[in-house]
Amino acid sequence: MAPEKSPGTAEPLLVVAGLEKRFGHTQVLRGIDLEVHRGETLGVIGPSGSGKSTLLRCVNRLVDYEGGGVWLDGRLLGQELHRGRRRKLPHRRLAAQRRAVGMVFQHFHLFENHTVLGNLCLAPQLVHKRSRAETEAHARELLTRVGLADKADRYPSQLSGGQQQRVAIARALTMRPDLLLFDEPTSALDPETVGEVLAVMRDLADSGMTMVVVTHEIGFVREAADRIAVMDDGRIIELGAPSQVLDTPAHERTRRFLRRLAPAASPSTPAQQPVPAPAAGAEPAVRARPDTPSR
């Protein structure tokens, strides 16, 4: 039985303990234990269907789970104790908790009939009730951070996929989240725009944002992640430093997964060229997709 208070004394920002998730009769998560510390970037890799996206969706409570728990900054997310039993939080309190966890999806989900600036201002204006000027100033600051200061008045359809995803990242940041989750943020992009999105993510990681990144971009996690978790069949089978997991994997299933990827990911191949960080206010340098899974 998972504890009601976050386990351990090191006070990680995110604690996942004993997480179990089923879809119908299919057990998708089989007891996930995970801690992510403040400022840490955790990469999550693994074969298709191993439960990576479901893990993220349980963390930000897009889906319910059957066992275990998720704690952010020591608080059990989405549930409360009532007469000694756990029960779901009322919607309003759940929504408030969820704001602390930003999420960037594979698809950008931008509002097509709003400008880039409008997309960034919608949620903060509704939720924080800040002045329009203050919200816009923060949005423009974030657009500069993702290298799109000059695109504030464009509509999403006027941007490339990579630029739209950078807007989606900036939008996630408007709520000033404590934790940012990325669910395969580059897998829907044209190869030529993948690098610019990875560069923005790298910049965020360097700035101390706490991030969990589900990705097949092994070159990115090798460089940018502090640790990598390998998922297989609903379990974390391996967790460690990128060099340890990618170059000397302990688990045969990790070795098999890495062998199926492009050579750049395979154990004992040299690290790739670093992902360029974007200069403030400038378009991040574009680079080719570092590796593509051969699934």
Smallest gap from residue 239 Cβ to ligand ATP (A): 16
Give the binding range for ligand ATP (CB under 6 A) out of 2-10, 44-52, 71-79, 269-277. Answer: 44-52
Encoded one letter per residue, x for contact with ligand ATP by CB under 6 A and - for no contact, window 108-127 reads --------------------
Collapsed DSSP state (helix, strand, coil) of residue 43: strand
CA distances from 66 to 5, 15, 30, 60, 73 (A): 18, 16, 10, 15, 22
> Does 60 interact with ligand ATP (rule: CB under 6 A)?
no
Choose between 23 and 111: whose C-beta lies nearer to ligand ATP: 23
How many whole angstroms separate alpha carbon 128 and alpha carbon 139? 13
Contacts 24+ apart (CB under 8 A), 13-16: 13/37, 13/38, 13/40, 13/72, 13/73, 13/178, 13/179, 13/210, 14/59, 14/70, 14/71, 14/72, 14/179, 14/210, 14/212, 15/70, 15/71, 16/55, 16/58, 16/59, 16/68, 16/69, 16/70, 16/71
Smallest gap from residue 28 Cβ to ligand ATP (A): 4
> Does 293 interact with ligand ATP (rule: CB under 6 A)?
no
> Does 23 interact with ligand ATP (rule: CB under 6 A)?
yes
> Does 31 interact with ligand ATP (rule: CB under 6 A)?
no
CB atoms closer than 10 angstroms to residue 8: 11
Smallest gap from residue 161 Cβ to ligand ATP (A): 18
| Residue 26 β-bridge partners | 23
Instruction: Record the tokens describing residue 74, joined without a space.
Output: 């020591």
Give the binding range for ligand ATP (CB under 6 A) out of 52-60, 143-151, 155-163, 174-182. Answer: 52-60
Give the binding range for ligand ATP (CB under 6 A) out of 30-38, 45-53, 116-124, 153-161. Answer: 45-53
Smallest gap from residue 138 Cβ to ligand ATP (A): 32
> Does 253 interact with ligand ATP (rule: CB under 6 A)?
no
Smallest gap from residue 106 Cβ to ligand ATP (A): 8
Amino acid identity for residue 6 in this structure: S
Smallest gap from residue 24 Cβ to ligand ATP (A): 7
Closest CA to 12 of 212, 169, 230: 212
The residue from 2, 17, 28, 59 that contacts ligand ATP (CB under 6 A) is 28
Footprint on this chain of ligand ATP (rule: CB under 6 A): 23, 28, 46, 48-54
